[in-house]
Homo-oligomer: A and B are copies of this chain.
Amino acid sequence: MESTPKYVWINNEIVPEALATVGVSDLSIHRGYGIFDFFKIIDNRPIFIDDHLNRFYRSAEAMNLDAGLDRRALKQAIHNLMEHNRLPDSAIKIILTGGYSADGYALGTPNLILIQTPFKMESPDYIQPMKLVTYQHQRQLPAVKTIDYLQAILLRPFVKDNNADEVLYYYNNLITECPRANFFLVTDDEIVTPKDNILAGITRSKVLQLPIENYRISERNITLNDIETAKEAFISSSTKNACAVIAIDGRPVGNGKPGKITTLVSEKLTELMLEQVYYQKA
């Protein structure tokens, strides 16, 4: 996709992507053991970086992984990588693996990897509304941002066969989340998102704090039946912002078109992000 060579930061070194490798005894390869985080960069400014680093260190602690760098050093590493890659509109993924294990089971010294890729937020008008298909599954360790996406990737053919863009997980009739996004329903006077057994998305946390006139914003249980009476639905994530969901399991949500509250939420999230850019410049 990119013709210019892209640099990767790995264990305190910045190397061309082709040389950024991990030995085959790493526990991510042997045991799927690792965590990550992911944040956008707009006009050379990392967006909601402190929220993402807070979550990154929480995930690391939850999985008994030592990042090796404190927050200040990690921010400097991010800065150094950005200087090398010069991608003003991009995203950075921070991966922390279980490390090289002597016996293929005990944790080693983690490998820390920063990967920057070009990424441009599209104007809200251009974000394609999405269709979801439901699937019963409860992610293990849902509150931790682990690298476990086995079920999500395995379900890609199922999603395609159901003429959908992504799966919406539920368990025991309660909706939880999409594999890479949180889920919201909109009624006449409420914006509601599931509360339990989910990943606490950074964009989700921003939505919960938005002032939306005449709407209260709540975290609570949502059942599959609640979809039928909803006026709108949307998902939130760092890459999708707030993205309209116009159909679930082949049935339209509300009138089957992106709703005005979803658009309003998306606009207000964009404002929040641009404030981040502005304040870091000032």
Contact = CB atoms under 8 A, between A and B. Distances in A.
A150 B32 contact: yes
Which of the four size classes fits the interface of chain A?
35 or more
A5 interface: no
Interface string A6-37: 00101000000110111111111111111010
B32 A147 contact: yes
A93 B104 contact: yes
A193 to B, nearest CB: 23
A8 B24 contact: yes
A69 interface: no
Q: Which of A10, A36, A95, A147 has the most CB of B within 10 A?
A: A147
Copies in the assembly, this chain: 2
A32 B30 contact: no
Contact of A21 (B24, B28, B156, B157): B24
A173 to B, nearest CB: 17
B97 A157 contact: no
A3 interface: no
A153 B98 contact: yes
Contacts of A102: 1
Contacts of A31: 147-150, 152-153
A113 interface: yes
A27 to B, nearest CB: 7
Interface in A26-79: 26-34, 36, 63-64
25 contacts: A1-B102, A17-B25, A18-B23, A20-B24, A21-B22, A22-B26, A24-B95, A27-B153, A28-B28, A29-B29, A29-B34, A29-B97, A29-B113, A30-B93, A31-B147, A32-B146, A32-B149, A33-B150, A64-B154, A105-B149, A106-B156, A107-B153, A140-B151, A141-B151, A141-B154
